[in-house]
Amino acid sequence: MRFYRSERVQSLIHDQLGQIITRELEFDGAFVTIMGVDVDKKLEFAKVRVSVIPAEKTVAALKELARNAGRLQHMLLRKINIKPMPRIAFEADHGPENAAQVEKVFLEHGKEIE
């Protein structure tokens, strides 16, 4: 399998940033997981998709991540030492939350049939 530079950078950011966030930030009862990273081909920007459990704390977690984005980016640069370091931005990934809701509907529907 051939990896292009942007794909390698995505993988590195995903792995290292996940460790940094776990070690450096607290989210007041929320669990934050990096679901994916999308880096543009010029390596200027990285969109980091995060899942927050419970979902009610998503806005607060995204604010905390945005507030610390510069510091996280600096720490990330020291870990993976790439030039240029993509500028990171965070967004919510509602995939796991949506999957849980669909599963709940199926389970409820199955119980009604019985």
CA 11 – CA 103 distance, rounded (Å): 29
- The 10s digit of each residue's pLDDT in 72-84 is 999 999 999 888 8
pTM to 2 decimal places: 0.78
* pLDDT tens figures, 11-61: 999 999 999 999 999 998 999 999 999 999 888 999 999 999 898 999 999
C-alpha 89/C-alpha 50 separation (Å) is: 10
Q: Is the pLDDT of residue 112 over 80?
A: no
pLDDT band for 113, please (50, 70, 90 cuts). very low
Q: Before 86, cis peptide (omega within 30)?
A: no
Task: State mean pLDDT over 93-111.
Answer: 65
Domains of the chain, first to last? 5-113 (3.30.300.20)
Tell me 29's DSSP state: T
